[in-house]
Chains A and B, each alone.
Chain A
Amino acid sequence: MFNFIDWLASTSGSIALRESLYMYPWIESAHVLFITIFFGTLLFVDLRLTGYGFKNLSISQMNAKILPLTLIGFLFMIITGLLLFYALPVRNYQNLFFRIKLFLMLLAGLNAWYFHRTMNRQSKAWDKNSFIPFRMKVSATISLVLWGLVIISGRMIAYNWFDCDKQPQSELVNFLISCTVDPEIYEYLNGI
């Protein structure tokens, strides 16, 4: 895996992005704007599900009207996010917050999959009775909390507190970021 990441970092596109003066900030700003569209529209979908907004619309109407925009936000958020990763592959790959973020995104994805699987089966009944099961409200709330945590951990990627090139780190941190440290370097660091 590391060899692949290392190779990715050596490609000309990655070097160009990394060394660009304006391209990186532009992509980063776009990433933030698409996060806003994604998270903000998801908020209203989940508010409808928990019963706090847009009660004039049925759940399936709300989904049909807002989810396409959420998905567009998601798509561009992922594209800009991949470009940001591509600019600094090694640093992100060995960044603790980046790994936490990916893990949280995986959880959010599983939660979304569970939610939509259930909704596709039951939404007609939800619309008819204007009632949704409690565990679905929990799932909608979990989705917001998880994406909020994704935003927080994403913001933290910028900080190098737990980076591989900042030793000594605890063994746990080095394990979590797949960082192998030459024991001689430890001895050297302990000596100073």
Chain B
Amino acid sequence: MESNQLLEIIYLLEDSYIGEYVRGSLWLFPVIQSFHLIGLGILGGAVVIGDFRLLGILMKTETTSYVIRVTKPWFNFGLSILILTGIPLFLSEAVKCYYSRAFWIKISCLLMGTIFVYFIRNPIVLSREENFFMKILGVLSFSIWVVTAASGRWIGFS
């Protein structure tokens, strides 16, 4: 019963003005998707450099908190582009997404990744000296974002 209610909302979203508009255009979907990819590149850069520093692979001469502080605004910027472009993409094919396993994996990972970075990784790294525990934070953050990006790409194959 509950899932039927969700499906009703999904149909409403698909019929929304933005959804219709993107669907009705030949160019809009791929163009928005291209900018979605560029947003992914920006977020990816911030994630790779930040998390690889936590893992001790890159920039070992700089402190972990410095690297996270510099990459943070670009993480925010990339994520904003991704969400702003992701919403119209989703609205244009909400029903397809509802039935796509890749979509639900992606959304779950996106939520986990966002919460993890803003409420766990960043506060800990910014307030403490580097320690071994930070390697675990780096592995977790990096893995979540890789799965988010890969399952996002997979929505297109289903």
Contacts and interface: CB of A to CB of B under 8 A. Distances in A.
A95 to B, nearest CB: 14
B153 to A, nearest CB: 4
Q: What is the interface residue range for chain A against chain B?
A: 20 to 34
Given A47-B74, A56-B66, 12 more contacts: A25-B154, A36-B48, A39-B41, A39-B42, A40-B41, A40-B42, A53-B74, A65-B58, A69-B52, A151-B37, A151-B41, A156-B34
B70 A69 contact: no
B50 to A, nearest CB: 10
Contacts of B42: 39-40, 43
B154 A57 contact: no
A115 interface: no
A36 B44 contact: yes
The DSSP consensus for interface residues of chain B is helix
Given A40-B47, A41-B49, A57-B62, A32 B34 contact: no
Contacts of A125: none
The DSSP consensus for interface residues of chain A is helix
Interface of B: 26, 30-31, 33-35, 37-38, 40-49, 52, 58-59, 61-62, 66, 70-71, 74, 146, 149-150, 153-154, 157
A39 B44 contact: yes
A186 interface: no
Contact of B58 (A42, A56, A66): A66
Contacts of A36: 40-41, 43-45, 48, 149
A158 B30 contact: yes
A43 B62 contact: no
A155 interface: yes
A2 interface: no
Contacts of A148: 38
Contacts of B30: 155-156, 158-159
Contacts of B153: 25, 28-29, 32
A43 B149 CA distance: 18
Contact of A155 (B37, B59, B61): B37
A106 interface: no
A44 B66 contact: no
A33 to B, nearest CB: 6
B149 to A, nearest CB: 6
A40 B44 contact: yes
B66 to A, nearest CB: 6
Contacts of B31: 152
Contacts of B37: 32, 35, 151-152, 155
A32 B146 CA distance: 10
A28 B35 CA distance: 18
A54 interface: yes
Contacts of A54: 62, 70
26 contacts: A25-B154, A25-B157, A29-B149, A32-B149, A32-B150, A32-B153, A33-B149, A33-B150, A35-B37, A37-B48, A39-B38, A39-B44, A39-B45, A40-B41, A40-B43, A40-B45, A41-B45, A44-B46, A44-B49, A44-B74, A54-B70, A56-B62, A57-B59, A61-B61, A151-B41, A155-B37
